[in-house]
Each structure stands twice: as C-alpha cells, then as structure tokens.
Amino acid sequence: MSFFQRIFPILALLSFLLLIGLVWKDYDRPYLEYQRKFKALLDQKSTGSSKPVEFGFGYRQRWSKELGRVDRCETCHLGLDDPRFKDAPQPFTTHPVIAEHAYEKFGCTECHGGQGMATTVEDAHGPTENWNKALYHDNFMENSCSLCHGEYLQAQAPVLFRGQTMFFEYGCRGCHKADGKARTVTGPPLDEMSKRVKSDWLYRWLMGPKDYWPQTKMPDAKFTSQEAADVSAFLLQGPGPKGQAISGDAGPGKTTLLESRCTTCHTIEGKGGKTGPELSKVASKAYPERLFKVVKDPHALWSDSKMPIFGFADKDINDIVTFMSQEYMDLDLNENEAARQAQLVASGSKERGKELAVKQGCVGCHSKIEGVKEIGELGPDMSTFGVVHISLLDFGDIKVPFKERTVPNWIYNKIKSPRLFKEGLKMPDYYFSAEEATAITTYTLSLKGKEVPASYTLPLGERPSDYAPQGAFGKIVDKYRCLVCHKINGKGGEVANDLSQEGSRVQEAWIKKFMKAPDTIRPMLEERMPPFKILDPENDAIFAYCRTTLVTDKVEDLTGPVDKMALGDPQIIRDGEKLYFEKYGCNACHQINQKGGLVGPDLTETGKRLRPEWVVYYLHDPKAFVKRSVEPVYALTDKEIQALTAFVLSSRSSVTH
C-alpha cells in the first residue's frame, strides 16, 4: 500500500471527528445552560398546576427598527414578566415595574447599555475588545431617562436631576458647553477687589476656599504659594480703600445683628443657612467700608446677589459693622503669618497672575475681571460626552484593568479627582462626595446628543415656572429677595412656605404686623424670617397684591357658607374644644398657650391670623395645597369642621402684650 492509501482512512476519520467537534462546539452554547436552569425553576414553581409547563428553548430577540436596536437579553433573562420570580437570583429576577416601561417596545439596551446583539454574558454585558459600551452600573442607571422623558425629572429620576442641578449651580457650564445652554455666571463679580478684601485674605482664599467657608461652591485650583500670590496681585490691582472710619456701638450692633436673623442665610461658626457665606471671620476678609456697602445695598454691588436690602438706617449699619469688625476676626490667624502673606502678594507678578487667571478660567464663574474678557471654550464641549469614544479619554499614568476602562468610570474619577490622571491637568477640585460625583456623572452620561423617535418620547415632570412678578410688587419682591426663600406659583426657594394662596389665607391686620416684625409661627423650625424695614406703602402694596392675586377660589367661594356658620356660638365652641382635645388629639402636634406639641404651627392666635374660610377648607383637605403636609386627613364631617373652626378661631393668647 502506498503512503497515501495508508493515510487516507486516518485523515478521513480525523475529519469526521473534527466535524463532530465543530457541531459540538456550536451546539452547546452557553445560554442553553441558563435556560435549563430556568426551566428547572419554572417546573418547581409550577408544581401543582394542571397544565404542563411550556418552555421553548432558543433565542429570544426584541427588534426595534426605529431605535435601531436588537436586544437578545431575554434569552437568559427569562423571568422578566413573571411575578413568581421576584426573589429568584439573577438572571431570572422579575423586572421591577416602572410605570409603563414595556420593554417589549423599547428593548433593554436603550436604558441599560451593553451589547444587545450578543448572547454570551461577557459580550452582552461588556466591555469587550470590540464593544466598549458596557452595562451601566446601577448608580448611573438614571442617565437614560431624559432621552424619552425630558429634563424635569425631579421626582422620577432624583439622581439625574440632582446632577443636572449641580451642573448648573457649581458653574460647570462656565467652562464646559453642554446641551446648548448658555454659560451662567455663578460667582460674584471681581471688580474693585483692592477696595473690598485684604490681600492676605485673598491669598488664603485662593490657597484653599473651603478653609474659610466650607460650603463654598468655589473649587480649589490647587495653586502653589507663588501662583496664589501672583493671582492675588493681579486681582488686587487698583487703589485701596479710602480708609473711612466706621464708628458705631458694638453693643447695639450685636443686638441688631441677632434680631435680623442673619443666620437664616449665613453661617456663623458653621451654624446657619447655606445661601450666604460664613461670617465669623469676615473682618479678616473685608474692609469695614465694604461691609457697610454690602449691608446697605448689596444689589448695587452684584445684581444677582441673593441678599435682600434690609433698609437699615446708616447708624444701625455703622453699629453692625463695628460689631463685626471687633468680634468677627479670625482668631487663629497669626499676625506675622498674615503680614508675610501680604508681603508675598505685594511682590507678586501681575502679568503672571493674569496668565494664570486666564488659564484657570476664572471668567467661567466670575465677571468683571479687569482685562479678561470672554475667552472661548475653557474645557471640552460636553454636549455629547455621554457617548464619547473611549479611545479619546486619557487614563494617563493610572493602570486601569481592561474591564474598568469604560466611559462612566473615567467620568466619575475625573469629577471626583480632576487631576488624578496625570500632571499638568487644570480642572480645579470641587471635593465632591461620592454621591455628588455619582449624580454629576449620571447627568454627564445623559448628554448623548441624540434623539429618539417622537413616538417614543413622553415628557414628564413639572416644567419650571417662569413666574416673574411685575410692577410695584415685582420691585418689592426683588428688593427683599422673597423668592430666595419662598415659592410663588412654582418659582422660588423651599426654605419657607409657599405663598401662592397667601391672600386667601391670612388676615390683613395680622400679616401687615407680621411683615414688620416676623415672629415664630412654627416652633420646630430653625429658619426664621428676618425683619426687614418694610415701609408702609410697600406693606400695603404687598397685601393688595396678595389679596387680589394670590388667592384661590376654592377658599374664596366659602365666604357665603362661613357667614352662616355662627362661629361665635359658645356651644359650638365647646363642641369644638371637645373634638380638639378628646376625639382628634390635635394638641399632640399643635400648641395653644404653650400647651401641646411642637410639630405643627402654634394655634394660639389663629383667630387673628387665619381667615375662617381658610381654616374650614384646610380642615376639609389638609393636603390640598401642600402635598407633603404632615396633618392627617381625618374625613371630618361638616359639623365637626364647623365646631373645630369655631374653637380654634376663638383661642386667645393668655399672655398680654
């Protein structure tokens, strides 16, 4: 036999065996293992039912032509629509019900990321050599919500919304363009710095803003000592303060300051509100004449300032400033150290300081920097950063294992430690916490620069209100900055109560008195309304506007019925008293004459404060205007409402003024 005759059968057999090998390799695909496991679980859960369990082995696919996606996740994720698998281990767990997110229509990867076309775990979840868009980590999952639901998802996607808000508040848009919105200036203007702040303070501030004011939004540019001195020198160009003496009495100054409740917005030694800067060291920062100007008319210095115009008399301001100059000094400051820092600044290079100011992008948050105008883009455009290609992101000197080399990872680490990747990066450090960095990362990931077909969109959430009071009332609101703390018609802050129905709520005499001297309504709250020196014409204008515009017919229409209610009848009042104390236990949360609980407002002088129609309506539906109201909904009968209203309105303070 020739060589080939001997070898031919061997080769043929080998080929045949390899063919079997081919078939074997292809047939025993990994997903079948998962399907067998699922079938076993399904059989377990269906024991006892009459019908045999039907389960077809094979691929499952969802194809969305409009979205251009093919998702085969359900090949292994089999229990998605079966409530019996709620507690089953992944991949069989039931999909949580999120409203109408019929994944039958959307597929999976539009929201979750990953490679829908794949049918093995590593390839589907990613990242792999040829698919970098891995599954989104749970923390960042909300990023896809805005694709279909728009950008007002305060309730529905809180992490995303927080990131969105922070992106605005922390001035990210000052350096990075994103979703077509304009740059907003978030910091104060930097004109006339030499007349405003002391040079050694500015040096210390640039070296570490959080040392002076822990809640500041200004990031740390990590200047070296020389750089901080140079930038300070640059900013402090120009004549110094005139050196006017501010002479007043510290004692009355202290009283006025405490009465004015500055800690509603400012912190003093760390305690207080978050709106204004820390005051306990302000004398080491600002010259007295500047302090005077700030207290007198903050809007003239910075039109976007949130601080109201209190309307103090000049003498009072002198007293306040004198008090602050004496008491609000930085006690830890070593005088020699301060002098050394001032000297550093004095010998700093203004040209170098200007270069640094330009390079660091101060103009991204601050306006009116001498000689520095709009200088174009300081950081990369973020409008489509959520889908940036991984090869464009530099991990620098950090050794990152392949599986972690993803876009979300890079963004998160960049936001948390902006200069982590290598030397020479210039993004300043905001010292964000892990939660904050997660929120901002989620928002950044949502910037995909793409749109889904209109039939897939469903805008949700409340659009922000564009309410802007006009006329005399508008000017008063602007002067006293009411909307920093209060909300009216959807616009404003949430520090104090919503005033949208205030006209239907309060009585004229009481509110006018309150505006001049606000006292405590809710014992539990720390914030207190500061006493502005509201002028009488202003007070009248405010009330007129409230009574005509900030009303609700639901309450106004009750005027007729209330007139017929005989709320002065002593028997009805006694009935009300019984209901108040015995049946409903209102005193558990409310105080009358210092007896009772502290949760709700003090009801002692309600008869003078609230309008009867309001009380009636409120008892009828406590959550009508404030959805978060703690008051229980008791479903009171009309008679009970009448009695309780009569009683509450009848209470009078036992303390004589």
The reply on whether position 33 binds another protein by CB under 8 A is: no
Name the segment binding another protein (CB under 8 A); options: 81-89, 270-278, 359-367, 636-644: 81-89
DSSP annotation of 480 reads H
Task: Compare residues 10 and 245 and give the one whose CB is closer to another protein.
Answer: 10
Q: How far is the CB of 101 from another protein (least distance, A)?
A: 13
How far apart are alpha carbons 234 and 193 in whole angstroms? Answer: 10
Name the segment binding another protein (CB under 8 A); options: 67-75, 286-294, 363-371, 531-539: 67-75
The reply on whether position 2 binds another protein by CB under 8 A is: yes
The reply on whether position 8 binds another protein by CB under 8 A is: yes
Q: How far is the CB of 75 from another protein (least distance, A)?
A: 9
Q: Out of 35, 38, 41, 72, which residue is the one contacting another protein (CB under 8 A)?
A: 72
Task: Compare residues 16 and 467 and give the one whose CB is closer to another protein.
Answer: 16
Among positions 9-28, residues that touch another protein (CB under 8 A) are 9, 11-16, 18-23, 25-27
* Amino acid letter, 51: K
Q: Out of 132, 275, 417, 653, which residue is the one contacting another protein (CB under 8 A)?
A: 132
Task: Compare residues 62 and 266 and give the one whose CB is closer to another protein.
Answer: 62
Sequence-ordered list of residues with C-beta below 8 angstroms from that of 12, at least 6 positions apart, any chain: none
Binding mask of the shown chain, residues 373 to 392, with x at each position contacting another protein by CB under 8 A: ----------------x-xx
Q: Out of 39, 67, 88, 120, which residue is the one contacting another protein (CB under 8 A)?
A: 120
Q: What angle do CA 620, 509, 263 make, to 5 degrees?
A: 85
Task: Compare residues 452 and 599 and give the one whose CB is closer to another protein.
Answer: 452
Q: How far is the CB of 332 from another protein (least distance, A)?
A: 44
Task: Compare residues 128 and 255 and give the one whose CB is closer to another protein.
Answer: 128
Torsion sign, CA atoms 189, 194, 195, 199? positive
C-alpha distance from residue 306 to each of 31, 106, 197, 295, 438 (Å) = 60, 45, 20, 12, 28
Tokens 């507690």: give the residue. Answer: 87
How far apart are alpha carbons 74 and 92 in whole angstroms? Answer: 9
The reply on whether position 104 binds another protein by CB under 8 A is: yes
Task: Compare residues 315 and 403 and give the one whose CB is closer to another protein.
Answer: 403
Tell me which residue of 383, 379, 378, 412 sits closest to 395, measured CA to CA: 412
Is-contact 229 344, C-beta < 8 A? yes
Task: Compare residues 68 and 243 and give the one whose CB is closer to another protein.
Answer: 68
Name the segment binding another protein (CB under 8 A); options: 56-64, 278-286, 306-314, 544-552: 56-64
Among positions 394-453, residues that touch another protein (CB under 8 A) are 394-395
The reply on whether position 295 binds another protein by CB under 8 A is: no
Q: Count Cβ neighbours within 10 Å for each residue of 193-203 and write b for 16 or more, e otherwise.
A: bbbbbbbbbbb
How far apart are alpha carbons 552 and 555 in whole angstroms? Answer: 6
The reply on whether position 6 binds another protein by CB under 8 A is: yes
Name the segment binding another protein (CB under 8 A); options: 78-86, 143-151, 279-287, 597-605: 78-86
The reply on whether position 123 binds another protein by CB under 8 A is: yes
Q: Is 121 left (phi over 0), alpha (psi -120 to 50) or beta?
A: alpha
Q: Out of 81, 314, 351, 381, which residue is the one contacting another protein (CB under 8 A)?
A: 81
Q: Out of 117, 301, 372, 452, which residue is the one contacting another protein (CB under 8 A)?
A: 117
* Amino acid letter, 192: E
How far apart are alpha carbons 623 and 617 in whole angstroms? Answer: 10
Long-range contacts of 145-148, Cβ-Cβ distance < 8 Å, separation of 24 or more: 145/111, 145/446, 146/446, 147/110, 147/446, 147/448, 147/450, 147/451, 147/452, 148/452, 148/456, 148/457, 148/458
Q: Tell me phi and psi for residue 272, to 5 degrees.
A: 145, -155
Q: Out of 53, 63, 214, 524, which residue is the one contacting another protein (CB under 8 A)?
A: 63
Task: Compare residues 6 and 628 and give the one whose CB is closer to another protein.
Answer: 6
DSSP annotation of 588 reads G
Give the SS3 label for residue 592. Answer: strand
Both structure tokens of 620: 């009828």
Task: Compare residues 31 and 480 and give the one whose CB is closer to another protein.
Answer: 31
The reply on whether position 118 binds another protein by CB under 8 A is: yes
Q: How many residues bind another protein (CB under 8 A)?
A: 49
Name the segment binding another protein (CB under 8 A); options: 75-83, 176-184, 283-291, 478-486: 75-83
The reply on whether position 82 binds another protein by CB under 8 A is: yes
Q: How far is the CB of 12 from another protein (least distance, A)?
A: 4
Is-contact 115 128, C-beta < 8 A? yes
Both structure tokens of 23: 């078939």
Q: Is 420 left (phi over 0), alpha (psi -120 to 50) or beta?
A: alpha
Q: How far is the CB of 173 from another protein (least distance, A)?
A: 25
Q: How far is the CB of 6 from another protein (least distance, A)?
A: 7
Question: C-alpha 160: how far from its chain's center?
Answer: 10
DSSP 231-277: HHHHHT-S-----------HHHHHHHHHHTTGGGTSEETTEE-SSS-
Task: Compare residues 21 and 464 and give the one whose CB is closer to another protein.
Answer: 21
Tokens 């306990």: give the residue. Answer: 280
The reply on whether position 467 binds another protein by CB under 8 A is: no
The reply on whether position 243 binds another protein by CB under 8 A is: no
**Binding region for another protein (CB under 8 A):** 1-2, 4-9, 11-16, 18-23, 25-27, 58-59, 61, 63, 68, 70, 72, 81-84, 104, 117-120, 123, 129-132, 389, 391-392, 394-395
